[in-house]
Amino acid sequence: MIERVARQSQIQQVPDAGKRAAAGGFAMALQAELTRAGQEVQFSKHAMSRAEERGIEITPSLIDQIKGSMVRAQAKGATNILAMDTEKAFIINVPHGRVITAITQDEMKDSVFTNIDGAVFL
Which parts of the chain fold into alpha helices (H)? 2-23, 25-37, 45-53, 60-75, 105-108
pLDDT, position 73: 95
pLDDT, position 40: 85
Q: Going by DSSP bridges, is the β-strand pair 98-104/118-121 parallel, antiparallel, or unpaired?
A: unpaired
9-54 per-position pLDDT tens digit: 444 444 444 444 455 665 565 555 545 555 689 999 999 999 999 9
pLDDT, position 74: 94
57-94 per-position pLDDT tens digit: 999 999 999 999 999 999 999 999 999 999 999 999 99
Q: Determine which of 5-9, 60-64, 108-112 has the lowest per-residue pLDDT on average.
A: 5-9
CA angle 17, 20, 21 (to 5 degrees): 85
Mean pLDDT to the nearest integer, 104-121: 91
The structural domains of the chain, with segments of one domain joined by +, span 1-38, 39-122
pLDDT, position 35: 52
pLDDT, position 43: 95
pLDDT, position 23: 52
Amino acid at 80: N
